[in-house]
Chain A
Amino acid sequence: MTDCIYLPKSVQDDIIAHAKDTLPNECCGYITGKGNAGMTVYPMTNVDASPVHFSFDPQDQFRVIKAARAKGEVPLVVYHSHPESPARLSNEDLRLLTDPEMVYVIVSLHNNAVDIKAYRINNRNVIPVMIREGGL
């Protein structure tokens, strides 16, 4: 059975807006929630401030994790944007995104079109995750 993540339209709209607002650079952030339902978007600062790369600030990561925990939520998704390439995991993503528990969402703005896709990564194996609009 295909793995899936539930992302309400409002959550998807928020991460698309974040991607557009951050142009020409890549945006990044967490989506926290419960079970497999994403509920809260935490836009993060891309400390690389780059159109082709992103890195989270670890101090900011710890802050968000604790804030989510206080709401009874856990980080389910790490999202980032690809301003000029498709919504697929790059070699750099595969090298650096190593948490097997996380769903990785990519917002592509390639060719002025919005595309969102989700994946898990386990030992550099890419597993597509279906995005369903909805939530708890």
Chain B
Amino acid sequence: MIIHINGEKETIEASLTVTQLLAHKQVKMPDMVSVELNGDILERQFFDTTIINDGDAVEFLYFMGGGQV
């Protein structure tokens, strides 16, 4: 099936959960990643159970935070 990942069209062989997709994309620290699915931010608690479907648009990026302390 064909999906869009961070704006790029990609073909993946089988249905994957969001967690599996992040592993497939070799995201090194998935706990620090925010995911948007078809324009809506996906809560982390649903990463394991949300299946990516044909035509879906997935965006992911690293949470950014820090400070001087």
Which A residues are within 8 Å of any B CB, using their own CB? 26, 28, 48, 50, 52-56, 58-59, 61-62, 65-66, 69, 78, 80, 82-85, 89-93, 95-100, 102
* Contact of B67 (CB < 8 Å), options: A54, A56, A59, A69: A54
Task: Report the bound CA distance from A104 to B69 in whole Å.
Answer: 16
- Chain B residue nearest to A101 (CB atoms) is B62
Q: Is the CB of B66 within 8 A of A59?
A: no
CB distance from A124 to the nearest CB of B (A): 11
Q: Is the CB of B61 within 8 A of A65?
A: yes
Q: Is the CB of B62 within 8 A of A98?
A: yes
Q: Is the CB of B28 within 8 A of A54?
A: no
- B23 an interface residue at 8 Å Cβ cutoff? no
- Chain A residue nearest to B64 (CB atoms) is A56
Q: Can you list 6 contacts pairing A with B, beta carbon distance less than 8 Å?
A: A48-B65, A61-B64, A82-B68, A92-B69, A96-B65, A96-B66
Q: Is the CB of B28 within 8 A of A100?
A: yes
Q: Is the CB of B61 within 8 A of A97?
A: no
- B32 an interface residue at 8 Å Cβ cutoff? yes
* Contact of A98 (CB < 8 Å), options: B29, B34, B36, B69: B29
Q: Is the CB of A62 within 8 A of B68?
A: no
Task: Report the bound CA distance from A73 to B9 in whole Å.
Answer: 17
CB distance from B3 to the nearest CB of A (A): 16
- Chain B residue nearest to A53 (CB atoms) is B67
Task: Report the bound CA distance from A26 to B5 in whole Å.
Answer: 32
CB distance from B32 to the nearest CB of A (A): 5
Q: Is the CB of A90 within 8 A of B65?
A: no
- Chain B residue nearest to A55 (CB atoms) is B65
**B7 — which chain A residues lie within 8 A by C-beta?**
66, 69
**B63 — which chain A residues lie within 8 A by C-beta?**
55-56, 58, 96, 98
- B41 an interface residue at 8 Å Cβ cutoff? yes
Residues B1-30 near A (CB distance < 8 A) = 6-7, 28-29
